[in-house]
């Protein structure tokens, strides 16, 4: 077995124009000061990184790594969640996702998709330049508006949608293969890949591509009422990344999974800071350790109640205490009798 690395912090929710969150050096020094060992960097935030430059210049990539290392941290992974979303966008969401792309692509579905595809390819090279082996992203969605089976879906609609999603992702997955980096899809509502079954459907359409893998985040499965512990049994061989995020689901006689169009604070299902929700992290860390997951445990802070800095401070300690230093020997080794083939045959009566 292997010991999970961490704690690391996803910087997306913390980057700001106010110090110490306004540049990579300052935010890393702050993260180190509150107990983190690594950072996951959102590649769309120019205050922290220039993704294209990191792909095209090994010198610049080394400078980014040096800044993080000087603060006493490591880079766990890069993220292209926003760009990955734009690889596939249904027209119903065109304007809603304009803010994820440069202004010249606003309103332009094809332009956004082409820009996003190139961004993902930059991310493959940038990750390789930094010696990283996994990358976080979203799949995007062409079918999400049909997630509830009413009105009745036309025959073949889902298959056509997944075939198109796979067509868009195959060149990206191949680029990541060229650079030895795994693409880890965060299975998330709003994405066509949002649970185990949809991930399996995608795998089938990309011919079980070895670089198509999973960013495991149990909080999204709590809100879908999915067994997030058994999920690890099913998909552990594809889990390459781990977001440590808590959530709670408290249905009432007035609302359930769909939330009644309410704000996060008023939804039956909502994200919480670590330890304030319902996720059984003891079971998760045990299960991941059992299956030799040796990636990073990365805090993604998203809470409707607690201040982010408080959540980050508490989260570093929480993750540190959950990481299991795995054993190198069996607990009953003291009673071992050694290996003796003749004795084994005698015991078996053969």
User: Residue 62 belongs to a domain with what CATH number?
Assistant: 3.20.20.150
Write down the pLDDT at residue 339: 84
- For 238, half-sphere exposure in the C-beta direction (CA atoms, 13 angstrom radius) is 22
| Residues whose CB is less than 8 angstroms from the CB of residue 253 and which lie 6 or more positions away in sequence, other chains included | none
For 198, 211, 268, 275, the CA distances from 169, given in Å and listed in that order, are 15, 11, 34, 36
Write down the pLDDT at residue 330: 79
Write down the pLDDT at residue 39: 98
Name residues of the chain where pLDDT drops below 70: 335
Write down the pLDDT at residue 156: 98
Write down the pLDDT at residue 170: 98
Torsion, CA 268, CA 272, CA 276, CA 281, rounded to 10: 100
Q: Which domain holds residue 294?
A: 5-348
**How many independent structural domains does the chain possess?**
1
What's 270's DSSP letter?
A: E
Write down the pLDDT at residue 333: 76
Write down the pLDDT at residue 1: 84
Summarize pLDDT for 260-309 with one digit per residue, the tens: 999 999 999 999 999 999 999 999 999 999 999 999 999 999 999 999 99
């Amino acid at each position: 077995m292997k010991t999970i690395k961490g704690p690391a912090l996803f910087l997306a929710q913390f980057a700001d124009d106010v110090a110490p969150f306004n540049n990579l050096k300052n935010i890393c020094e702050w993260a180190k000061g509150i107990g983190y060992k690594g950072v996951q960097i959102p590649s769309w935030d120019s205050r922290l990184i220039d993704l294209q430059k990191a792909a095209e210049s090994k010198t610049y990539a080394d400078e980014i790594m040096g800044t993080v290392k000087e603060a006493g941290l490591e880079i766990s992974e890069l993220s292209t969640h926003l760009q990955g979303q734009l690889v596939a966008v249904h027209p119903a969401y065109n304007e809603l996702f304009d803010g994820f792309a440069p202004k010249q692509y606003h309103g332009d579905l094809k332009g956004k998709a082409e820009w996003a595809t190139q961004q993902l390819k930059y991310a493959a090279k940038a990750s390789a330049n930094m010696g990283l082996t996994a990358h976080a992203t979203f799949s995007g969605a062409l079918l999400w508006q049909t997630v509830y089976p009413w009105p009745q879906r036309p025959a073949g609609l889902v298959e056509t949608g997944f075939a198109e999603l796979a067509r868009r992702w195959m060149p990206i997955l191949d680029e990541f293969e060229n650079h030895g980096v795994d693409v880890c899809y965060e299975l998330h509502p709003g994405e066509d890949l949002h649970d185990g079954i949809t991930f399996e459907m995608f795998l089938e359409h990309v011919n079980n591509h070895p670089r198509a893998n999973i960013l495991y985040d149990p909080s999204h499965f709590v809100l879908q009422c999915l067994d997030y512990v058994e999920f690890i049994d099913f998909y552990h061989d594809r889990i390459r990344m781990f977001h440590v995020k808590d959530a709670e689901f408290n249905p009432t006689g007035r609302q359930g999974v769909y939330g009644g169009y309410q704000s996060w604070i008023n939804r039956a299902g909502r994200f919480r800071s670590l330890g304030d929700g319902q996720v059984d992290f003891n079971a998760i860390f045990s299960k991941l350790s059992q299956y030799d997951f040796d990636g990073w445990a990365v805090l993604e802070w998203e809470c409707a109640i607690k201040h982010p800095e408080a959540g980050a401070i508490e989260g570093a300690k929480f993750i540190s205490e959950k990481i299991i230093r795995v054993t190198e020997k069996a607990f009953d080794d003291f009673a071992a009798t050694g290996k003796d083939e003749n004795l084994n045959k005698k015991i078996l009566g053969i």
